[in-house]
């Protein structure tokens, strides 16, 4: 779970970053509004913790910007206890707020609540060339024709699609699809790729899964 912390006070930022890091979240910290804007536009987060008072763009502006483009939960930090501040944040689309100072336990509880409510935004649909995958319906088609994939084949293809155009090492593939540390004395990945190709690529003129010798495999439209 990736969390973005937008906070200019060094002390608070460290406190948050360390605590959340130890609790198993991947944390990114930025110190002003412009950096925040950049990160929000460039990367995906599962939760944003936002201080109201910031150099550069302030919390309200950032919040509006975030809401323009996504539903990611936002937790507001405010030094003021004044009701109208909190209300303003909530009206603008924040999901929760905390008044400083706060205890870490409480923050963690709220973070968990927010994350529990917004399950990891896995993609539900992919499309590359004439290949389409509907994850929820577990349906894969090429040229409109339905392909019958097994469990492993599906998982593998989903990984490829999720990382379209990236070269995936065998080790990485093994860790994602088999949850194992790739001991290298097995060729499961090769065999799995073979079987996947047999259904996805072999019967069709344009191939999508390519071997990068010495590196791994890519899924990509090279037509």
Partner DNA sequence: CTTCTACTATCAGGATACGCATACAGTCAC
Partner DNA sequence: GTGACTGTATGCGTATCCTGATAGTAGAAG
Question: Should residue 214 be labelled a site residue for its own copies when binding is judged by CB under 8 A?
Answer: yes
Report the partner that residue 38 touches, choosing among DNA, its own copies, none (CB closer than 5 to 8 A by kind).
Answer: none
Report the partner that residue 211 touches, choosing among DNA, its own copies, none (CB closer than 5 to 8 A by kind).
Answer: DNA
State the nearest-atom distance from the C-beta of 70 to DNA, in Å: 18
State the nearest-atom distance from the C-beta of 83 to its own copies, in Å: 5
Question: Should residue 211 be labelled a site residue for DNA when binding is judged by CB under 7 A?
Answer: yes
Question: Should residue 199 be labelled a site residue for DNA when binding is judged by CB under 7 A?
Answer: no
Question: Should residue 87 be labelled a site residue for its own copies when binding is judged by CB under 8 A?
Answer: yes
Question: Should residue 52 be labelled a site residue for DNA when binding is judged by CB under 7 A?
Answer: no
Interactions with its own copies, residue window 93-152 (CB under 8 A): 94-96, 102-103, 105-106, 109-110, 112-113, 117, 136-138, 150-152
State the nearest-atom distance from the C-beta of 105 to its own copies, in Å: 5
- Of 89, 72, 68, 71, which is closest to residue 80 (Cα–Cα)? 89
- Measuring CA to CA, how many Å separate 100 from each of 4, 20, 33, 104, 111? 18, 17, 19, 11, 15
Question: Should residue 49 be labelled a site residue for its own copies when binding is judged by CB under 8 A?
Answer: no
Closest CB to DNA among residues 161, 177: 177
Question: Should residue 166 be labelled a site residue for its own copies when binding is judged by CB under 8 A?
Answer: yes
Interactions with DNA, residue window 60-89 (CB under 7 A): none
Among 175, 187, 206, 221, binds DNA (CB under 7 A): 187
Q: Parallel, antiparallel, or unpaired: how do β-strands 74-78 and 145-147 relate?
A: unpaired
Report the partner that residue 10 touches, choosing among its own copies, DNA, none (CB closer than 5 to 8 A by kind).
Answer: none
- Measuring CA to CA, how many Å separate 63 from each of 13, 36, 45, 97, 173? 19, 11, 14, 12, 37
How far apart are the C-alpha atoms of 35 and 56, rounded to whole Å?
9
How far apart are the C-alpha atoms of 161 and 169, rounded to whole Å?
15
The residues of the shown chain that bind DNA, judged by CB under 7 A, are 148, 150-153, 170, 178, 185-188, 190-195, 197, 211-216
């Amino acid at each position: 779970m990736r969390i973005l912390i937008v906070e200019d006070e060094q002390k608070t930022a460290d406190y948050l970053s360390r605590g959340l890091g130890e609790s198993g979240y991947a944390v990114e910290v930025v110190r002003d509004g412009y950096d925040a804007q950049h990160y929000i536009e460039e990367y995906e987060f599962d939760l944003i913790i936002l201080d109201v008072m910031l150099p550069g763009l302030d919390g309200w502006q950032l919040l509006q910007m975030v809401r323009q483009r996504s539903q990611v939960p936002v937790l507001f930090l405010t030094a003021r206890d004044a009701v109208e501040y909190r209300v303003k944040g909530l009206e603008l689309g924040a999901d929760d707020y905390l008044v400083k100072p706060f205890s870490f336990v409480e923050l963690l509880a709220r973070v968990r609540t927010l994350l529990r409510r917004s399950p990891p935004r896995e993609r539900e649909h992919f499309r590359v060339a004439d290949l389409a995958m509907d994850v929820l319906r577990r349906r894969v088609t090429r040229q409109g024709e339905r392909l019958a994939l097994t469990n492993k084949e599906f998982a593998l293809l989903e990984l490829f699609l999720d990382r379209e155009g990236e070269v995936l090492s065998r080790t990485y593939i093994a860790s994602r699809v088999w949850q194992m540390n790739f001991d290298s004395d097995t060729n499961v990945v090769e065999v799995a790729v073979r079987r996947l190709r047999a259904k996805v690529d072999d019967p069709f003129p344009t191939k999508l899964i390519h071997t990068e010798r010495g590196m791994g495999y890519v899924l990509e439209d090279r037509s």
